[in-house]
Amino acid sequence: MNLPPSLIDKTPWQEGSNPIWPATCLTLRRNLARYSFPPKLSSSHFQQVLTLLSDDLLKSPILTQPALLKAEGLNPNEKEFLYEHFLCTDGFQNTLSGQGFIVDESANFLALINIDDHLQLRLIDSQGNWENAYNTLSQIETDLSSRIEYAFSPRFGYLTSDPRLCGCALTAQAYLHLPALIHTEQLPQTLQKQKEEGITASGLGGSLDDLYGDLLVVHNSYTLGMSEENILRDIHSTAMKLAMLEKTLRMHLKEENNLQMKDQISRAYGLMRHSHQLQTKETLSALSLIKLGLSLQWIEGITDSALNTLFFKSRRAHLAELLSENLLDSQEIARLRAEFIHQHIQSIQLMI
């Protein structure tokens, strides 16, 4: 196993306390002034950039026991694990020699080296301290800047491979669990009313067609001409409005004793309790409805944190690492997932 034990043992949202807004992820992009950007980088320069950046990050006083994971040393399942764990939009299966990752003991920090940009610093906050998360990223970036020179333009700010992400080069993603808005089919009109310039909403797969797990990701679509403060303020404002609407709708569902929602939650409970095979998408959808039932006090016997952990550990690569299995056959994966879910929901009681 090439992945650090802390990455296997911890899940990003396990310390979260907000059932509607479980996490925020912040990403800073930087490129080095001395080298071409990764799409134009030679093989020898790939290795030089990887060595330069990894050596500096491994010495960072801000990170706790950082570790370098070279792309060529990771098997396909381990690459998929990183993709799942950090909820990245693009996979890492095509990463090769000269590309790599830095993780630390927190299991919430990921640095991408030579993937799209020379460096992406990514940090997940699940405790509502996203200001502190940004300060931590800024400290890491500033510490690096004392030893290396970033590609910077007085006119366009920090330069990135994607021109829309030049400027401050900060992306903020708020992850919102909105099953009430989604299952009552109120999300489209809600997003239309809350629409703001420069703010995009999507599912985990990158579009509104990929809302598996009833998770909506609210993020800034560009950074050029924007300050870090404006980006964080706009994302926070939009996420708060959506979270409040979801909370209000949940209260109405509970007060009305909504039979349609009770039926959906009951079906999700039955699926997870009695299925012999479970696919990833249907598992995440069922877990989402169980989380909603817990919030409405129609489910007992489990915590929201435990359900967050199941959300990650029931995904393909996490399940493979957890069970030390080389999961290649889709039917076998589905069977083992169902067994895993059964073991961890035995205490759940349906109170409807």
State pLDDT tens for residues 38-73.
999 999 999 999 999 999 999 999 999 999 999 999
304-313 helix and 330-344 helix, angle to the nearest 10 degrees: 160
| Contact between 158 and 168 (Cβ < 8 Å) | yes
In this predicted structure, what is the pLDDT of residue 295? 97
Q: Which amino acid, one-letter code, is at 287?
A: L
**328 falls in which pLDDT band (50, 70, 90)?**
low
Please provide the average confidence, as pLDDT, over all residues in the chain: 94
3-class secondary structure per residue, the chain = CCCCHHHHHCCCCCCCCCCCCCEEEEEEEECECCCCCHHHCCHHHHHHHHHHHHHHHHCCCCCCCCEEEEHHHCCHHHHHHHHHHCCCCCCCCCCCCCCEEEECCCCCEEEEEEECEEEEEEEEECCCCHHHHHHHHHHHHHHHHCCCCECEECCCEECCCCHHHCECCEEEEEEEECHHHHHCCCHHHHHHHCCCCCEEEECCCCCCCCCHHHEEEEEECCCCCCCHHHHHHHHHHHHHHHHHHHHHHHHHHHHHCCHHHHHHHHHHHHHHHHCCCCCHHHHHHHHHHHHHHHHCCCEECCCHHHHHHHHHHCCHHHHHHHHCCCCCCHHHHHHHHHHHHHHHCCCCEECC
* Alpha carbon distance 304, 302 (integer Å): 7
* Alpha carbon distance 21, 336 (integer Å): 30
Stretch 219-239: mean pLDDT? 94
Token digits of residue 75: 């098997």
In this predicted structure, what is the pLDDT of residue 343? 94
| Contact between 158 and 119 (Cβ < 8 Å) | no
In the block, tokens 């039979």 appear at 259
State pLDDT tens for residues 12-40.
898 888 999 999 999 999 999 999 999 99
Q: Are strands 117-125 and 152-153 parallel, antiparallel or unpaired?
A: unpaired
Q: Which residues contact 273 (CB under 8 A, 6 or more apart)?
A: 342, 345, 348
Q: Of 25, 5, 3, whose CA–CA distance to 73 is shortest?
A: 3
| Contact between 256 and 248 (Cβ < 8 Å) | no
Cα–Cα–Cα angle for 316, 321, 323, rounded to 5 degrees: 95
State pLDDT tens for residues 86-130.
999 888 999 999 999 999 999 999 999 999 999 999 999 999 888
Backbone angles phi, psi at 175, to 5 degrees: -95, 120
| Contact between 237 and 310 (Cβ < 8 Å) | no
Stretch 210-216: mean pLDDT? 91
In this predicted structure, what is the pLDDT of residue 90? 86
Token digits of residue 348: 């759940």
Distance, first Cα to last Cα, the chain: 44
Stretch 293-321: mean pLDDT? 95
**217 falls in which pLDDT band (50, 70, 90)?**
very high
5-248 has CATH 3.40.50.12780 classification? no
State pLDDT tens for residues 184-194.
999 999 999 88
State pLDDT tens for residues 149-158.
999 999 999 9
Q: How many CB atoms lie within 10 A of CB 203?
A: 16
In this predicted structure, what is the pLDDT of residue 327? 61
Domain range list for the chain? 5-248, 259-350
| Contact between 242 and 183 (Cβ < 8 Å) | no
Q: Of 173, 178, 180, 228, whose CA–CA distance to 200 is shortest?
A: 173
